[in-house]
Structure 1
Amino acid sequence: MDHQLLVFTTVVEKENFSRAAEELHMTQPAVSQYIQALEQQIGTRLLERSNKFVRLNMAGEIVYHHAKEILGHYTRMQYLVDDLMNKASGNLFIGASYSFGEYVLPQMISNMLEDYPLIKPSITIRNSKRIVNLIIKNELEIGIVEGEFNHQSLNIEPFAEDLMYVAVAANHPFSRQKNITKQELESETWIIREEGSGTREAADKMFKTLTLNPTNKMEFGSTQIIKESVESGIGISLLSKWAIQRELSSGTLHVIEYEGLPVRRKFSIVTRTVPFQTKAMEIFLKLLREQ
């Protein structure tokens, strides 16, 4: 940074050599020498001095205007360089279950990249059990899963609550029915996820808690396929509200009211127990915890 310009603008703004020297942690003679050197370089006096005040003359007005602009560029340049040198960057391997990975994670990644464009995320979407296994095998750095897990080499941190509802097609009789019986629910075709899925675990717990024993179940391996199947009237399903927000807004799906619903569950962050984390990982974990 040009110290002559810094000293000059400080003198102008403090209107006094002594106050400027105090602000800059310099001696008053040193401040005077900087001003004299600048005036010699410019080729004219810039300040009108008296025992009571220091004021700009016309030449000083011009120099002060441009000095402030130049110092502003210096400051911004330093900010940009510091930001670049300290910016989170590099690869970040993230895994997520279908509900979170397909319906929540994309917007989070978009928000992160706006502020940290040097981070290069790689996303893997699998069921919760598979994500945990990939973390254990060191193929992923961070996992977001549903359900309950415990492993001695993993940190598992619940961070968000999800509400799950029984969804039906908009033209399904349940969408207009207020008092649905247990027998009616059991007689429906239930579309459920595969073993190892957090959504499947939630559905199994719901059946047990509500003492439901459906006679007809269909097992699909994707939340998106389940939603489309429910919309088309093939069956009904327990789904995360995050996953069906768009369909609820558009009116293609409807959620039913029944005692014990909605089902509450937790999403958890899964990481390996390691002595340090990359800055990219720290940034993403912070975003997750603020979600």
Structure 2
Amino acid sequence: MDQQLEVFIAVAEKKNFSRAAEELHMTQPAVSQYIQAFEREVGTRLLERTNKYVKLNKAGEIVYDHAKEILGLYTKMQRLVDDLTNKTSGPLAIGASYTFGEYILPHVIADMLDEYPQVAPTISIGNTRDIAELVLKHQMDVGIVEGDFQHDKLMIEPFAEDAMYIVAAPNHRLAQYKKITPQDLEKERWIVREIGSGTRKAADNLFASLKITPSSMMEFGSIQLIKESVEAGLGMSLLSQWAIRKELGMGTLKMIQVDGLPFTRKFSIVTSSPYRTKALDTFLAFVRRVSTEDGSGLW
């Protein structure tokens, strides 16, 4: 059954029998036979076939979603059993939201691999909502997310606080003020992340706490793009201390001093099962060493 699922997933993702056969190191007739046998077993057609492409029908979409989850669970089961007799090693699928993934995770991975070089991590970066969904579907071993995240089907462990500051270009008019009111902030253009992002949720929570509704907002899907835009004078933003350390040091961004800041939020570990491989337990031990202040506990 597991090989049928692998073949079905490959065809669904490649949208082509020949490309799927090449990836699986099989012949195209063998792939076709696997698909036909799988469709008979399921009891319905799963793929729409034309001369140019292959695509999932409605039944195929349902089977594909569950097939990915089943294979993820099967792989995790194999690794857990292997762990009983082996050293800390093997693959580790990590998902992280942008701030942690881009500014903290590389240092965590480097430290871990110095001590445990046989661990083989793969990393995916996305917003908090997307990472949690991948963990829930067993396509990630662990996720690191931002903010006050809650989910009744996932295990969530807050492990560090993140301080967030309002930043603007050094020549921004508010960068020259000594005392800034919420009304001053309301008049400015804000550059924010998309809905579903932990950084966006933090910004929305800040606006609510200050009782303001910004007159203008721009949504960008990248922290780096937001920083470049703020430096260029497009507007101001609320960003993590981890994301702005270099820019503050170089003087290309400036903190805007507002009563009640920094705004704080949590970084949390997200997992879907109490059963963990040695590689995952080792990774989590390094993650928990992240300092809540300035990273001095790590680097």
Question: Structure 2 length as normaliser, TM-score?
Answer: 0.67
Q: Distance in 1 between matches of 2:87 and 2:103?
A: 28
- The answer to whether the Cα contact below 8 Å between 1:153 and 1:273 also exists between their aligned partners in 2 is no
For 1:216, the equivalent position in structure 2 comes to 216
Residue 252, structure 1, aligned to residue 267, structure 2:
no
Shift of 1:88: 1.2
Unmatched 5+ residue regions in structure 2? 1-84, 291-299
- The secondary structure found in structure 2 opposite 1:224 is helix
Shift of 1:151: 2.6
Q: Distance in 1 between matches of 2:149 and 2:181?
A: 34
Shift of 1:181: 2.6
Deviations for 1:34-72, whole angstroms, at most 9, x for unmatched residues?
Answer: xxxxxxxxxxxxxxxxxxxxxxxxxxxxxxxxxxxxxxx
Code of the aligned partner of 1:169: A
Shift of 1:268: 0.3
Q: Distance in 1 between matches of 2:223 and 2:106?
A: 16
Q: Distance in 2 between matches of 1:215 and 1:248?
A: 26
Larger radius of gyration: 1
Q: Distance in 1 between matches of 2:246 and 2:165?
A: 14
Q: Distance in 1 between matches of 2:107 and 2:149?
A: 26
For 1:154, the equivalent position in structure 2 comes to 154
- The answer to whether the Cα contact below 8 Å between 1:210 and 1:260 also exists between their aligned partners in 2 is no
For 1:278, the equivalent position in structure 2 comes to 277
Q: Distance in 2 between matches of 1:252 and 1:272?
A: 41
Shift of 1:153: 2.7
Residue 241, structure 1, aligned to residue 241, structure 2:
yes
Shift of 1:180: 1.6
Shift of 1:87: 3.3
For 1:225, the equivalent position in structure 2 comes to 225
Q: Distance in 2 between matches of 1:266 and 1:238?
A: 15
Q: Distance in 2 between matches of 1:92 and 1:232?
A: 39
Shift of 1:86: 5.2
Shift of 1:261: 1.1
Shift of 1:240: 0.3
For 1:121, the equivalent position in structure 2 comes to 121
Q: Distance in 2 between matches of 1:220 and 1:105?
A: 22
> Matches of residues 190-201 of structure 1 in structure 2 within 5 Å?
190-201=190-201
Q: Distance in 2 between matches of 1:108 and 1:273?
A: 22
Deviations for 1:117-161, whole angstroms, at most 9, x for unmatched residues?
Answer: 111100000000110000001110110001223333311000000
- The answer to whether the Cα contact below 8 Å between 1:220 and 1:226 also exists between their aligned partners in 2 is yes
Q: Distance in 2 between matches of 1:258 and 1:203?
A: 14
For 2:286, the equivalent position in structure 1 comes to 287
Q: Distance in 2 between matches of 1:184 and 1:211?
A: 12
Q: Distance in 2 between matches of 1:152 and 1:216?
A: 35
Percent sequence identity over matched residues? Answer: 55
- The secondary structure found in structure 2 opposite 1:195 is coil
Q: Distance in 2 between matches of 1:227 and 1:143?
A: 24
Shift of 1:187: 1.1
- The answer to whether the Cα contact below 8 Å between 2:148 and 2:265 also exists between their aligned partners in 1 is no
- The answer to whether the Cα contact below 8 Å between 1:87 and 1:116 also exists between their aligned partners in 2 is no
> Matches of residues 8-23 of structure 1 in structure 2 within 5 Å?
none
Shift of 1:173: 2.1
Count of aligned positions: 206
For 2:143, the equivalent position in structure 1 comes to 143
Q: Distance in 2 between matches of 1:277 and 1:158?
A: 18
Deviations for 1:62-111, whole angstroms, at most 9, x for unmatched residues?
Answer: xxxxxxxxxxxxxxxxxxxxxxx853111000000001000000011111
- The secondary structure found in structure 2 opposite 1:290 is coil
Shift of 1:279: 0.7
**CA RMSD between the two structures:** 1.2
- The answer to whether the Cα contact below 8 Å between 2:95 and 2:126 also exists between their aligned partners in 1 is yes
For 1:10, the equivalent position in structure 2 comes to none
> Matches of residues 164-203 of structure 1 in structure 2 within 5 Å?
164-203=164-203
Q: Distance in 2 between matches of 1:159 and 1:208?
A: 25
